[in-house]
Amino acid sequence: MSPHAEAERGSGGLAVPQARAAAGVVIDGGTKIAARDVSVFYGDKQALFDVSIDIPDRSVTALIGPSGCGKTTFLRCINRMNDTIEGARVSGVIEIEGKDIYQKSVDPVVLRARVGMVFQKPNPFPKSIYENVAYGPRIHGLARSKSDMDVIVESALKRAGLWEEVKDRLTAAGTGLSGGQQQRLVIARAVAVNPDVILMDEPCSALDPIATAKIEELIDELRENFCIVIVTHSMAQAARVSQRTAFFHMGSLVETGPTEEIFTNPRDNRTQDYITGRFG
């Protein structure tokens, strides 16, 4: 494992918080996701190398790095989406609230309800706005009646900042919304099942600046209740929305820390070169 991904260890073998933490160490506490020595293989090709990182709850952690560096691959490990790729293999440990999500007893379908995913391109179902949001709660049995479901749908749309725009047309097709509205609908769909974690893979890359600003404002509001991990190619976006940033390069985690520190005083020259535009 890279020396940049190692934490100092106390006598009990646990990571010791430091004023200036090594990569992968949370200095704030409240860890939601703990990854240790995570590697990913696609057939004979290794895409991720011994990634160790702690991701805190109720905050936004941004994963940055050049294309093909492994950040999306790591993101997909957190809800086991790599399981769906033939020949993919994941080693190491990822825990959410102390439970290893790769144990055989963990149902990936149930896990993906706890770990919502928002993709690069909005992907509403070919259903009404109401049914897009109700889909998850319905298959997971979260509503006992129509009135219960109405409350869940309204609450989710409000949390996604979309209720006032769509409350009079809930039976209209979700695919008929604008791109920014579709992305907020997808976020509403994710929060409707009360997940523990929300993963976002470049959620604003297909949106215009006004829609992007709304999504970023929404992310800032959601972090009060959720652990959010976002992949972004925008240094400005990472600086605006995240509290912690992790820099990936060539399949390895180079360093992670408070976003302001990563952008103003990185420890590794590769991080400095990337955020200043010398490569990437």
CB-CB contact of 238 with 266 (8 Å):
no
Question: Among 52, 54, 72, which Cα is nearest to 63's?
Answer: 72
Tokens of 36: 């240790």
**Residue-wise pLDDT tens digits, 209-237:** 999 999 999 999 999 999 999 999 999 99
Q: Provide the CATH number for the domain around residue 107.
A: 3.40.50.300
SS3 label, residue 114: helix
The dihedral built from the CA positions of residue 217, 81, 34 and 53, taken in this order, carries a sign that is negative
Structural domain contains residue 168 = yes
Question: How far from the centroid of its chain's Cα atoms is residue 123's Cα?
Answer: 16
Percent with pLDDT over 90 in the chain: 85
Structural domain contains residue 16 = no
Structural domain contains residue 248 = yes
CB-CB contact of 46 with 251 (8 Å):
yes
Structural domain contains residue 18 = no
11 pLDDT higher than 80: no
Percent with pLDDT over 70 in the chain: 89
**Residue-wise pLDDT tens digits, 14-70:** 333 333 333 444 444 499 999 999 999 999 999 999 999 999 999 999 999 999 999
Distances (CA, A) of 162 to 13, 41, 127, 130, 227: 46, 39, 17, 12, 21
Structural domain contains residue 236 = yes
Structural domain contains residue 14 = no
Q: How many domains does the chain have?
A: 1
Would you state the pLDDT for residue 1?
38
- Which residue pairs from 99-106 have beta carbons closer than 8 angstroms and sit at least 24 positions apart in sequence? none
Would you state the pLDDT for residue 277?
87
Range of the domain at 72: 3-9+23-275
Structural domain contains residue 15 = no
Structural domain contains residue 62 = yes
The number of beta carbons lying within 10 Å of the beta carbon of residue 131 is 18
Tokens of 26: 């949370």
Confidence of residue 280 (pLDDT cuts 50, 70, 90): low
174 pLDDT higher than 90: yes
| Average pLDDT of every residue of the chain | 89
CB-CB contact of 241 with 230 (8 Å):
yes
12 pLDDT higher than 80: no
